[in-house]
Structure 1
Amino acid sequence: MKIAAFSISRAARGLAAAALLLVATTPAHAVSIDTVAREAILIDMSTDTVLFEKNADQRMPTASMSKVATMYMVFDAVEQGRLSLDDTLPVSERAWRMQGSKMFVELGNQIKVEDLIRGVIIQSGNDACVVLAEGLAGTEEAFAANMTKRMHELGMNGTNLMNASGWPHPDHYSTPRDLATLAVRLIDDFPEHFHYYSETEFTYHGIRQMNRNPLLYRNMGVDGLKTGHTEEAGYGLIATGERDGRRLVLVVSGLPSMQARADESARLLEWGFRQFDAYSLFTAGETVDRLPVWLGDKNDVPLVLEKPLKLTLSKEQRRSLKVSVVGEAPLAAPVAQGSQVATLKVTAPELDLEIPLLAGEPVERLGLFGRINAAANYLVFGAP
């Protein structure tokens, strides 16, 4: 017999529960918005929910936004002990001659790694990128090959990187979705190094430069990540900010000016924070419902989720949210703890999730006399 024995009132009770994340990438497009950006994606990192996307899988030049990938490699090397923040690296002629945005490293000098990190993140130094790349892999080409391989391991299969700085190259590209994935992984994997992205200025070689991320100066909770601009790419930005326990990640590209980049990025992030909220429905192991068991040493079994369930929903989706349990009842004993015995179905406009429900405890099969007694009760009183 199919059952649907769960009401929204119980879901509402669970909204007050503190939960983390059930990984289930879900669109939440019930509220519409558009953008003048050529490509864009906005996600709620706490629930891995896409709030908005436009040409999110379109291959595009990254410009300096791919410097986030370079920093991922550097932070990874620091965490593995292959590099220290206090180490110094030599400046080659190739690094010294780099054009575009610069940290202004001196030829032949030894530069502290932490200074190079700030030179890349705050000053967007192409020269600092080359110093780090050569220090880690010997050549920038070898570093780029290693970096592309690592990005693919992170799931960024639409990405190919030919250099450490994002310098224009026909085979150097990524996608907005890949860059959002990279941002999430950098924040998650290296929280102890993320603070560099919120620093607004850095002085090196007597030259004071300001962080190019315009949203750091708008008092809107933004604390990263990286701008980019070339003639082909237009103006782009990977931005992230946190409010009330929700962290959003935005990638925009192809904007016509610095002002458009600043204003459009701020508008999209504000929309994401204002129009959506994150709701905790159930904690891991919390009893969602119970199913009757036939011929078991217990009359029923609790249904639980393996992971917490937290969803990002628009106000319209929240009002229309429906939650139900679907499965066969009664279950036949024995029932193994942790086995899937039902499904939690969650629906709302543009949302349709089916999540396994597990047996929260074991139920053993009754012995011979117990089964005889249960059968006798069935004949007299009907189904359990």
Structure 2
Amino acid sequence: MSNLRPLPLIQRVFAALVLMVLLAGCTTATPPDSVLAVPAPARKYAAIVVDARTGKQLFEVSSTAQRYPASLTKMMTLYLLFEALETGRVTKETQIPVSDHAASQPPTKLRFRRGESIDVDSAIRAIVVKSANDVAVAVGEYLGGSEEQFAAMMTSKARQLGMTSTVFRNASGLPDDDQHTTARDMAVLGMALRQRFPQQFHYFSESDFMFRGRLVRGHNDMLGRVRGVDGIKTGYIRASGFNIVTSYNADGRNLIVVVMGADSARQRNDHVEALIQRSLSPSVDGAKTRLMFAEQ
């Protein structure tokens, strides 16, 4: 463990406890050392692994503690956009205008000019791949009339899905002290997206897309790193640390893995990979806890 930087005592104790939980009942190879590094600082870290087919919780640490969602927020923005597609309110060719307010959002964004618009299909890709804040806000304004009204719609939908501890204040996940969620709620949302919109879920596996003749690359490095990972969304603001919701779907297993509060994207991704490896071990029983979902 000499390659790990020294941690304050409370962080070392917390990290050791997490490692003990990870290793309990595990007969496969020991997860990488990054498992120790990710949980620090404890005030930001939270994680959960759920078997998406049965709802069984396989692992959790602080999964019901309040955390900032960052760009995981955009998962709900997309949920409502997928609903609009399903009901026929929009088509993939519908043009969404980009207001001055939307265009003024800080990066990451596509940088629109006054009066420009984006079609729904490109908007979905921009939000998934680029995590474009300007596009997320434009979608929110189009569907909700204003971003504030759309955020209220997002929170209402969260309650319908059983996300009991989530409040949305914007469509993008940009910093807002009153916007919060939990790892458990993000797992609920990740599963709801796959179950409700299987025909749209392929968007979350895309790592780049063409927009106006330019290749736009994403930054979800879990795609292509672990066989079976097919999405879905990363997020970061300074207050949250590095967040991710990851879907694993291979060999008859379907997992949703949520990690929040990592110190870097690399730590976060290493931790997710270790949790997937652990959860696929035949010796892992998991907690006898079933996540309950409201009617969608």
Q: Could you tell me how far apart the structure 2 residues matched to 1:61 and 1:118 are?
A: 23
Q: Which residue of 2 aligns with 1:158?
A: 165
Match of 2:109 among 59, 77, 102: 102
The unaligned stretches of length 5 or more in structure 2 are 1-21, 40-44, 291-296
Judged with a 3 Å threshold, the aligned counterparts in structure 2 of structure 1 residues 77 and 270 are, in CA distance, closer, same or farther, namely: same
The unaligned stretches of length 5 or more in structure 1 are 1-27, 277-313, 318-348, 354-384
The answer to whether 1:241 aligns with 2:248 is yes
Q: Which residue of 1 aligns with 2:222?
A: 215
The answer to whether 1:252 aligns with 2:246 is no
Q: Could you tell me how far apart the structure 2 residues matched to 1:260 and 1:200 are?
A: 20
Match of 1:58 among 32, 41, 65: 65
The answer to whether 1:118 aligns with 2:125 is yes
Q: CA RMSD in A?
A: 2.1
User: Is the 2:228–2:249 Cα contact (8 Å) retained in structure 1?
Assistant: yes
The answer to whether 1:31 aligns with 2:42 is no
Cα deviations by residue, 1:101-146 (Å, 9 ceiling, x for unpaired) = 1123332112111111100001100001011111111110000001
Q: Could you tell me how far apart the structure 2 residues matched to 1:178 and 1:40 are?
A: 11
User: Is the 1:105–1:205 Cα contact (8 Å) retained in structure 2?
Assistant: no
Cα deviations by residue, 1:322-373 (Å, 9 ceiling, x for unpaired) = xxxxxxxxxxxxxxxxxxxxxxxxxxx96599xxxxxxxxxxxxxxxxxxxx
Q: Could you tell me how far apart the structure 2 residues matched to 1:351 and 1:113 are?
A: 41
Q: Say which SS state the counterpart of residue 180 (structure 2) adopts.
A: coil
How many angstroms does 1:199 deviate by? Answer: 1.0
Higher alpha-carbon deviation: 212-221 or 33-42 = 33-42
Q: Could you tell me how far apart the structure 2 residues matched to 1:207 and 1:173 are?
A: 34
Judged with a 3 Å threshold, the aligned counterparts in structure 2 of structure 1 residues 158 and 351 are, in CA distance, closer, same or farther, namely: closer
How many angstroms does 1:175 deviate by? Answer: 0.2
User: Is the 1:180–1:250 Cα contact (8 Å) retained in structure 2?
Assistant: yes
Q: Which residue of 1 aligns with 2:206?
A: 199
| TM-score, length basis structure 2 | 0.81
Q: Which residue of 2 aligns with 1:77?
A: 84
Q: Say which SS state the counterpart of residue 141 (structure 2) adopts.
A: helix
Q: Say which SS state the counterpart of residue 179 (structure 2) adopts.
A: coil
How many angstroms does 1:271 deviate by? Answer: 1.6
Q: Could you tell me how far apart the structure 1 residues matched to 2:115 and 2:215 are?
A: 22
- AA in 2 matched with 1:158: S
Q: Could you tell me how far apart the structure 1 residues matched to 2:88 and 2:185 are?
A: 27
Q: Could you tell me how far apart the structure 1 residues matched to 2:70 and 2:289 are?
A: 37
User: Is the 2:56–2:289 Cα contact (8 Å) retained in structure 1?
Assistant: no
Question: Which stretches of structure 1, 4 residues or more, deviate above 6 A after TM superposition?
Answer: none
Match of 2:191 among 184, 187, 195: 184
User: Is the 1:236–1:252 Cα contact (8 Å) retained in structure 2?
Assistant: yes
Aligned pairs for 1:1-384 (under 5 A) are: 31=25, 36-37=38-39, 38-273=45-280, 275-276=281-282, 314=283, 351=288
How many equivalent residue pairs? 256
Judged with a 3 Å threshold, the aligned counterparts in structure 2 of structure 1 residues 352 and 74 are, in CA distance, closer, same or farther, namely: closer
Q: Say which SS state the counterpart of residue 200 (structure 2) adopts.
A: helix
User: Is the 1:41–1:50 Cα contact (8 Å) retained in structure 2?
Assistant: yes
How many angstroms does 1:29 deviate by? Answer: 10
Judged with a 3 Å threshold, the aligned counterparts in structure 2 of structure 1 residues 350 and 212 are, in CA distance, closer, same or farther, namely: closer
- AA in 2 matched with 1:229: Y
Q: Could you tell me how far apart the structure 2 residues matched to 1:267 and 1:95 are?
A: 38
Q: Could you tell me how far apart the structure 2 residues matched to 1:245 and 1:231 are?
A: 37
Q: Could you tell me how far apart the structure 2 residues matched to 1:92 and 1:216 are?
A: 32
Q: Could you tell me how far apart the structure 2 residues matched to 1:257 and 1:122 are?
A: 19
